[in-house]
Amino acid sequence: MINFSDIQATLMPNFQGGEGITAAQMFVDDKNKIMRITLAPGSSIGMHCHETSSEVIYVLEGVGTAILDGVEEKVNAGECHYCPKGHTHSFINKGKKDLVFFAVVPQQ
């Protein structure tokens, strides 16, 4: 079991060239990186390419905007964003409340 309440958040300013602060509670082993991430209003994860693995993002709270290969999509709580291996994406909080989500990145 992974209890994210017991994992201290790592604060990452301008993560991947984005805006604001990304707060990530991370569990990492040799198979996966599993993260509970909070983006404050106005914060974003910059555009980046998943060259060696995919990423799955499941939104827990708030409303986000994902940009996948140049196509913008709105993502709400209870919805999932998928970035396949070899594709480029960004994740943005344009809302007035925190955007909280789980992200899973398989490790190669």
Question: Do the domain assignments include residue 24?
Answer: yes
Question: Do the domain assignments include residue 15?
Answer: yes
Secondary structure (DSSP) of the chain = ---GGGSPPEEEETGGG-SSEEEEEEEE-SSEEEEEEEE-TT-EEEEEE-SS--EEEEEEESEEEEEETTEEEEEETT-EEEE-TT-EEEEE--SSS-EEEEEEEE--
- Structure confidence at residue 107 as a pLDDT band (50, 70, 90): confident
**pTM of the prediction?**
0.93
For residue range 26-70, what is the model confidence (pLDDT) as tens digits? 999 999 999 999 999 999 999 999 999 999 999 999 999 999 999
For the chain, the domain total comes to 1
Q: Could you list the residue range(s) of the whole structural domain that residue 55 is in?
A: 11-106
Question: Do the domain assignments include residue 2?
Answer: no
Question: Do the domain assignments include residue 79?
Answer: yes
Question: Which CATH number fits the domain that encloses residue 27?
Answer: 2.60.120.10
Question: Do the domain assignments include residue 6?
Answer: no
